Structure 1
Amino acid sequence: MIEIITIGDELLIGQVVDTNSAWMAAELNKAGFEVIRITSIRDRKDEIIQALENAFQRADIVLITGGLGPTRDDITKQTLCEFFNTRLVFNQAVYDDMKTFLKGRVCKINKLNEGQAMVPESCEVIRNPMGTAPVMWFEKKKEVVVSMPGVPSEMKYAMTHSIIPKLKEKLDTGYIIHETILVYNITEADLAERLSEWENQLPEEVKLAYLPAPGRIRLRLTARGRDNQLLENYIDEALRGLYDIVGDNIYGDEDLPVAEMFGNYFGTTGKSLAIAESCSGGYLAHLITSIPGCSNYFKGSMVTYSNELKAAVLGVRPDDLEKYGAVSQSVVEQMAMGARKIAGTDYAIATSGIAGPGGGSDEKPVGTVWIAWAGPDQKMISKCFRFGNNRERNIIRTSETALIELMQLMRAGML
């Protein structure tokens, strides 16, 4: 079992977000290792030592990032010397690597840079071509400590090229299989209730995790054991049961963001898309254009927030805006038709709703959203959703639901 410790005052005051531990845990998990705890601590000698002592009560391997820079506040190296009862010694290979890395970057190597070549005598040095601080591997009986730089690119290179391969040589991790199923249009509580009996029948080697996000849920099945074929059989059987129960709510089986999944799907259809946005305010276009290659199918977006622009740009009838309001089936369908006509695309999406926190009514409370999808042969489908009273979530849910539903409608041959 592995514990991760990230070091740095900047992590605890919110100045820097700790992305290192999340990335490390994901990669270790893929490799079959179990991460049991992640701890962030300050650059304080006593806190580093206490964290190591506590970690070894739970784990055999501790991975550390941070505190290896050349400045006075970086004390991890000196603290590890004390913890392992060793001393710093000059390492020529580290010094040569540092000179190579800094060549052309600095005019001359100063004493602080030179200090990077001082390493604990008892550690195994893992050279770091991505920076100036080496990776240090310590072993004491069955306990292992690996200290890495906190710079993400340096840590990732070390983990990928050295540390994970070395850990796999040292430990027999068995097999681990992950399968992620993406579910939408159902609450976590309702989903858990529907899956209760199915979950109770899962083999003990298979565990289920619920990972909710606004409007959708990732279901992660994890199987661990020594027999890979048996684990695959368990997962396949579990998936068949899952699809039987909630197949209509499943929109994907790849652990990808909605926009990337949509791009992967729609990009293979050879069709084109335009959108007209009101309540989503351009966020839907942002999601689509965040994916490389979207220019092959996405023609553009019209953000028509006011009624005047809905009429002038998209051709929405002023009488319908007056009679039904902007948040209505009639208006959102006209928006979709107008966007498809203007852009000359195969498909179009339109959104109109009350994002909040104000503007709602008894008939149309905050979170009421209409989405329309226009397709070939004048096909049109529209739906009304009630998303809640959080403005940011409403914008995100509107945009992601628009993409998910279009994929589902096209797969079902309904649009």
Structure 2
Amino acid sequence: MCSKIPHPKLPIQNPMSAEIICVGTELLLGDILNSNSQYLAQQLAKLGIPHYYQTVVGDNRERLQQVIEIAASRVNILIFTGGLGPTPDDLTCETIADFFGVPLVERPEIIEDIAQKFAQRGRVMVPSNYKQALIPQGAEILPNPTGTAPGIIWQPRPELTILTFPGVPSEMYRMWEETAVPFLKSQGWGQEIIYSRSLKFWGIGESVLAEKVADYLNLTNPTVAPYAGKGEVRLRISAKASSPSVAEELIAPIEQQLRDIGGLDYYGKDNDTLAVVVGQLLRSSGETLAVAESCTGGGLGQMLTEISGSSDYFWGGVISYDNSAKLRLLGVNPADLDQFGAVSATVAQQMAQGVKNRLSTTWGLSITGIAGPTGGTDDKPVGLVYIGLAGPNNEVYSFEHRLGTMRGRSIIRHLSACAALDHLRRCLLSQ
């Protein structure tokens, strides 16, 4: 057991803020995705509760105590997930109690609740489950309607609130919504919310976009911050306000200004994807699309068909992975294939035109490239991709992309499909 020496109270470094502490060696090993921290971060934002730190710690008493000591010195709310089960490595409650120098007490109502749940499931409560009925003296029970591990709500100091939740996400979600949120609101939290909007850009680098919007990155309310990932750049606009509608009013003018700066590189917001935006443009113009894919192996078609109702504008595609399929199904000229190779602007154009003609669509979109890790040469390295686009007026375009030899096969395939959609998007907007 940890020493029960009372720890000195230190001035809170970040008053009126929370810290998320996720407990579990399986998280550190990467065996389980830590979705709990993402959920809690989003929920804290909805309540307008700032949080500047997230900590993951293994099932180790001493290290967990160190985490508590640091966190309790800098925030008002500590939110724990994990470590509330019946096994010896479930240490959260007893370590919290030890840290603050109070004993654990057995709560008979918890034992009764666990026994009833076991009986409903045709199981018998075993002695180890009694451990889950031990909570720090003075703490309130945070009920778990579905599982056997309750949490606690405890204020060991006037300025500090502790909430604990089991690590099972479904149990934690319900406990948070049904008990934790009403409690926090009763304590005066949730008077303001933090509301965010993400603007999405394609075809521009993070540093370039950041320079263009540099004057906006120092705003205080709303704030603007850039993010990048998988070829896409985002600008997140966040406003703190009394309600979502007030936050929207703060965000709206900044959003429009950033969209104007982004120009055609801006493609959507929040949950928009390139496939969603392209689909909307095709549907609104009454136009249709077919695709011909080589190195992406159907990934482009998958992106398009993930959208319900995409059959309104997407008529199908051809996966012409082998050259014979390019010749027989798409009508690629064998002489051009021999002279320029499958990965070339000429073949990409013929693939796009061929699939457009085969399926009688308004647009044909093609991808051919070297996704690696093998197959590259000095002239045509891994990451070289050509995109072909055949339009409604018999115009045919090709676009070369050099996506780099070190990105990896899956990311090259993903970027290729997204780049193809982006080229079509830009053409649809410029008609």
TM-score range, shorter chain: 0.7 to 0.9
* Structure 1 residues 332 and 150, CA gap change in structure 2 (3 angstroms): same
- 1 CA distance for matches of 2:241 and 2:402? 43
- What residue in structure 2 maps to residue 168 of structure 1? 185
- 2 CA distance for matches of 1:116 and 1:158? 16
Q: How far 1:234 moved relative to its partner? A: 4.2
Q: Which amino acid aligns with 1:223?
A: A
Structure 1 position 195 matched with structure 2 position 195: no
- What residue in structure 2 maps to residue 16 of structure 1? 32
Maintained 8 Å contact 1:101/1:129:
no
Maintained 8 Å contact 2:277/2:425:
no
* Structure 1 residues 115 and 229, CA gap change in structure 2 (3 angstroms): closer
- What residue in structure 1 maps to residue 144 of structure 2? 128
Structure 1 position 351 matched with structure 2 position 352: no
Q: Which amino acid aligns with 1:9?
A: T
- 1 CA distance for matches of 2:282 and 2:107? 57
- 2 CA distance for matches of 1:272 and 1:336? 13
Determine what percentage of the aligned residue pairs are the same residue: 34
Maintained 8 Å contact 1:273/1:346:
yes
Residue segments in structure 1 that go unaligned for 5+ positions in a row: none
1:106-126 superposed Cα distances (whole Å, 9 cap, x missing partner): 432222334434444422112
- What residue in structure 2 maps to residue 25 of structure 1? 41
1:238-285 superposed Cα distances (whole Å, 9 cap, x missing partner): 223222322221000224454566567767777654322112123223
Aligned residue for 2:213, secondary structure, equals: helix
1:10-409 equivalence runs, <5 A: 10-84=26-100, 85-92=102-109, 94-103=110-119, 105-140=121-156, 141-172=158-189, 173-196=191-214, 198-199=215-216, 203-224=219-240, 232-259=248-275, 273-291=289-307, 294=310, 298-361=314-377, 363-376=379-392, 378=394, 380-389=396-405, 390-392=407-409, 393-409=411-427
- 1 CA distance for matches of 2:311 and 2:146? 34
Maintained 8 Å contact 1:65/1:148:
yes
1:291-336 superposed Cα distances (whole Å, 9 cap, x missing partner): 5555665554432222122112222221121122212232122222
1:144-174 superposed Cα distances (whole Å, 9 cap, x missing partner): 1111000111112222333234223323453
Maintained 8 Å contact 1:28/1:164:
no
After superposition, the CA RMSD in angstroms is: 2.9
- 2 CA distance for matches of 1:95 and 1:268? 61
Q: Which amino acid aligns with 1:79?
A: T
- 2 CA distance for matches of 1:119 and 1:189? 50
Maintained 8 Å contact 1:90/1:117:
yes
Residue segments in structure 2 that go unaligned for 5+ positions in a row: 1-16
Q: Which amino acid aligns with 1:185?
A: G
TM (norm. structure 2) is 0.84
- 1 CA distance for matches of 2:69 and 2:245? 39
Maintained 8 Å contact 1:97/1:128:
no
* Structure 1 residues 348 and 13, CA gap change in structure 2 (3 angstroms): same
- 2 CA distance for matches of 1:79 and 1:206? 40
- 2 CA distance for matches of 1:282 and 1:339? 14
Q: How far 1:377 moved relative to its partner? A: 5.6
1:58-78 superposed Cα distances (whole Å, 9 cap, x missing partner): 110010000111212112122
Maintained 8 Å contact 2:153/2:163:
yes
Maintained 8 Å contact 1:274/1:339:
yes
Which shifted more, 326-335 or 57-66? 326-335
* Structure 1 residues 114 and 353, CA gap change in structure 2 (3 angstroms): same
